[in-house]
Amino acid sequence: MIDVAVSYGCKTPQMTRKAVQRLASLVCKKEGMDEGKISCVFVDDTAIRKIHSTYLGYHTTTDVITFLLETEPSPEAELYINVNQARRQARRYKVTLSNELTRLLIHGLLHVLGYDDKRTNDREKMFALQEQYVDLCSTRKRAI
């Protein structure tokens, strides 16, 4: 079973706990992860900048940070999603905030599942898979 905890360090009416749990479970199961614990925290620019600086040494804001805490016997991870950055990116890419938050959640989950985006070839594969899941989740939302 995938255990998905959701908390809000800032207001985000676009992603309910239930929606995050369903999306995370869908992606993890499709990727072959049947057990694990995922904590998803929605934060603002200030919080993500502090996390980015404290744990990764970057003094900038970013859209999503993933920490893989355990790998055995099953993955345990924390995802921090910056709602302010998601809003900016949604405007820039002309998508809804919900769509961009979905994209960032999927991106973070793919890191938990072992995907990497440091090298160009890996990044292209990861982003293509990410967009496939975004499309799948968008289709499922309309069907629900």
71-123 pLDDT, tens per residue? Answer: 888 899 999 999 999 999 999 999 999 999 999 999 999 999 999 999 999 99
Spell out the CATH class of 2-143: alpha beta
**Is residue 83 packed enough to be buried (19+ CB in 10 Å), middle (13-18) or exposed (0-12)?**
buried
For residues 57 and 68, is the Cβ–Cβ distance under 8 A? no
Helix-strand-coil percent breakdown of the chain, rounded to 5? 55, 20, 25
Q: Where are the domains of the chain?
A: 2-143
Closest by CA position to 29, among listed 137, 123, 122, 104: 137
Look up residue 127 and give its two tokens. 């982003």
Predicted model pTM: 0.92
| pLDDT confidence band for 144 (50 / 70 / 90) | very low
Cα–Cα distance measured from residue 74 to residue 108, given in angstroms and rounded to the nearest whole number? 17
